[in-house]
A and B are shown apart, each in its own frame.
Chain A
């Protein structure tokens, strides 16, 4: 006979505030003793070291063979209690954690019903644990190489940390150069240090690091495998330039006759050529050919770049094809960043219709010495300096019609813009804000500095930006219509330039990328972390980590910190050399298998092998991911799934249904 110990947690008042823990304890002791329960205890915090010791002591002194803990979700503390059991000499998989917090006390208000349900959940666990078997974790080796997807500041940081520790990194970037959004900025808040000055040394480090293979102009098309043993297929798009011979001299793009508006790096403010390098400090230095705009690809003639290429042999190669590389890696870091909100979606702000309405990214390019105006803040005509500038906060953020969340960086970004306008043009600046949010190191001090500089702050959400003249003084101006909610007055503020501080949004293809890597997106499209507080850089999928804005809007310091954090996690995994995987796997009982092959086609991981000679199927434990679909499908009952066997599930169903709800749950 099994000896089962049951431990009911109060979780302070989290459980005990709704569920009558003592009643659950006593009910279990009395009614489940026929199912092997020999001890039933409650404790304030089972997960505390004293709570764990209680279990360990009982295992040692009372000779418990199985343990059921009724507490929180197994996703939180299953490992804790398994380890405790393991310390006391019990096989850790003989322990079952059932959730009476997330599934009872936190979601029900009726105390009687919640207590009744807790008893049912607990009896399900007790019945189930009877059929647990001793398991050993599966050991798999970890491939020491890592792939970082996305070459913005978060990805750069992650790649450098791992490479500096002596391990190889593949850095994949969609654009022709790494650098991401940060490369587009002029100054960074609140220190106002030059973005390029602090970023480009890191970019150069990446480009020249012996441990980094840089794959720009490349995209991930397929991900196979599991933690420690991924195979990632990367499409290296044809650049039509041979990087082995190219010196990056720049003659090809000088001679290219085709001018194209640069919507990526210059945010539509500048032009590039059909063959181009997005900016002078680009890493790598080699240009790429944009086949959609190249005259040769359109009309079959031109090849100016090839004619003028000075290298020997010629570096331009119109025969180049896309390459597909299969790269084995142990871990993957996703740092694919964000998209800036497109303010065309708010027509009343006039973006795209009124020339002097700018987005924040456009304004960054205006400020940048390498930008289209050489760093001069000018109106769209490229000549006139503005005398009055209005900066609109929260464009596309904190707005039920677009994105409900706060984009975290726009307040500081807007304050930075206000300062730059002040400093460079002496113009009067109005900030239109809902709330000023400056919670960062030295951020609020920067806000105070702006207040002292004489920037006007108007608290109110801008209703409209228009060029319709209603009052004298509005001729030739943009008029910002807003209610000053501090005074209750409607204001019409005439300005020369309006800057829309646009929010951050998940990448347009975030959902597809999540699917590709087998991780999940929250409802608003940001990738979901394993735990919102305690594990912000891991995902639910082992071996895949997230860093930077892909996880949610954040500033540069936070992105860098996350990049470094993912690197630490990956290095930890690599150093272990092998890791233990959950032994939840399916296996075929050979003598029961009829060789019908129904299971063969059900496995998406090709883990099931059919032996023609013996006419039986076999499951490769290393490839099996443990979903259990084949177990459910086998008509002969020949496949068993460890951890979730038929016996375990059926016993749990019986246990869950031991109690009716109608007689006892509703208070009389």
Chain B
């Protein structure tokens, strides 16, 4: 039965408190629809993004990670999104070294006014990750255990 359904990727989205989280809020208040596959986590700034968070998400069962922040030059903390950009480049290289397709991690800038852009970026990233297929990275010992993927309720019961 499972095989007949299209693969539904799970995406973790990191947002900054000032621009991209508010873009997500704006998408909400404007009732702009996007794919339900993303689950957002709010940080104060994209500069707070420790690469560990991304690896943790991928190891715990996420198929992709979307990192979002203010546009370059518009950071609430002046320039910290540039630091996120630098880390993002390093992260992609590290992931490649670990055998993970770097396309599973995407960086998107969205201002507080860009609710529609945020929604459209989510939807297109979901399709990109869907095309890459399931990651199943770290399934086993430290990652999300295999049972979770089939019957979450039972696994938790």
> Which residues on A are within 8 Å of B, measured CB to CB?
27, 30-31, 73-75, 99, 101-104, 106-110, 113-114, 116-117, 120-121, 124, 515, 518, 520-523, 528, 540-541, 584, 602, 604-605, 625-629, 631-633, 641, 643-644, 646, 649-650, 652-654, 656-666, 668
Contacts and interface: CB of A to CB of B under 8 A. Distances in A.
A626 B47 CA distance: 10
- Select the residue from A116, A625, A662 with max chain B CB neighbours within 10 A: A662
Interface in B106-135: 111-114, 119
Given A653-B57, A661-B37, A663-B149, A103 B8 contact: no
- Select the residue from A528, A659, A666 with max chain B CB neighbours within 10 A: A659
B8 A107 contact: no
B98 interface: no
A641 B18 CA distance: 17
Nearest to B62: A657
Contacts of B144: 657
B17 to A, nearest CB: 8
Interface residues of B, number: 66
B24 interface: yes
A657 B28 contact: no
- Select the residue from B48, B61, B156 with max chain A CB neighbours within 10 A: B48
Nearest to A661: B8
Contacts of B18: 520, 540
A520 B19 CA distance: 9
A249 to B, nearest CB: 47
A238 B48 CA distance: 43
Contacts of B50: 631-632, 646, 649
Contacts of B10: 657, 660-661
The 10 closest A-B pairs by CB, nearest first: A102-B28, A628-B48, A629-B47, A627-B45, A627-B77, A113-B36, A632-B50, A662-B8, A106-B28, A604-B78
A523 B28 contact: no
Given A649-B50, A653-B41, A660-B149, 17 more contacts: A31-B153, A102-B24, A106-B28, A124-B41, A520-B112, A540-B18, A626-B44, A627-B80, A629-B77, A631-B50, A632-B50, A641-B44, A652-B41, A657-B62, A661-B8, A662-B7, A663-B151
A628 B45 contact: yes
B28 A656 contact: no
Interface in B1-47: 1-2, 5-10, 12, 18-19, 21-22, 24-25, 27-29, 31-34, 36-37, 39-45, 47
B73 A649 contact: no
Nearest to A660: B149
B25 A73 contact: yes
A297 to B, nearest CB: 34
B92 interface: no
B37 to A, nearest CB: 6
A103 B22 contact: no
B112 A528 contact: yes
Interface string B64-86: 00000000011011111001000
A662 B83 contact: no
30 contacts: A73-B28, A75-B25, A99-B25, A102-B24, A113-B36, A117-B36, A117-B39, A121-B39, A124-B39, A520-B18, A520-B112, A528-B113, A602-B83, A604-B80, A629-B80, A632-B48, A646-B52, A652-B41, A653-B41, A653-B60, A657-B10, A657-B12, A657-B39, A657-B61, A657-B62, A661-B8, A661-B9, A661-B37, A663-B149, A664-B152
Given A523-B111, A629-B48, A658 B156 contact: yes
B85 to A, nearest CB: 12
A605 B9 CA distance: 39
A540 B19 CA distance: 10
Contacts of B39: 117, 120-121, 124, 656-657
B32 A107 contact: yes
Contacts of A521: 113
Nearest to B144: A657
- Select the residue from B28, B43, B57, B153 with max chain A CB neighbours within 10 A: B28
Contacts, number: 177
Given A75-B25, A102-B29, A663 B2 contact: yes
B45 A660 contact: no
Nearest to A652: B41
Contacts of B22: 75, 540
B49 interface: yes
Contact of B28 (A27, A101, A520): A101
A470 B33 CA distance: 53
Nearest to A659: B152
A649 B61 contact: no
B26 to A, nearest CB: 8
B13 to A, nearest CB: 9
B77 A604 contact: yes
Contacts of B27: 102, 106-107
A352 to B, nearest CB: 33
Contacts of A117: 36, 39
Contacts of B153: 27, 31
Given A102-B28, A103-B24, A657-B61, A644 B156 contact: no
B112 A106 contact: no
A107 B28 contact: yes
B2 A109 contact: no
Given A521-B113, A629-B45, A103 B40 contact: yes
Nearest to A110: B36
A525 B17 CA distance: 21
B53 A653 contact: yes
Contacts of B40: 103, 121
Contacts of B87: 632
A73 B115 CA distance: 14
Contact of A661 (B36, B74, B77): B36
B73 to A, nearest CB: 6
A644 B43 contact: yes
Contact of B113 (A27, A523, A666): A523
B33 A107 contact: yes
B93 interface: no
Nearest to A521: B113
Given A102-B24, A107-B33, A661-B10, A627 B44 contact: yes
A515 B2 CA distance: 50
B114 to A, nearest CB: 7
A646 B49 CA distance: 10
Contact of B57 (A30, A540, A629, A657): A657
A663 B113 contact: no
Contacts of B157: 30-31
A109 B29 CA distance: 14
Nearest to A524: B113
B75 to A, nearest CB: 8
A540 B48 contact: no
A466 to B, nearest CB: 39
A110 B36 CA distance: 8
Contacts of B7: 662
Contacts of B9: 661
B49 to A, nearest CB: 6
A660 B83 contact: no
Contacts of A523: 111, 113-114
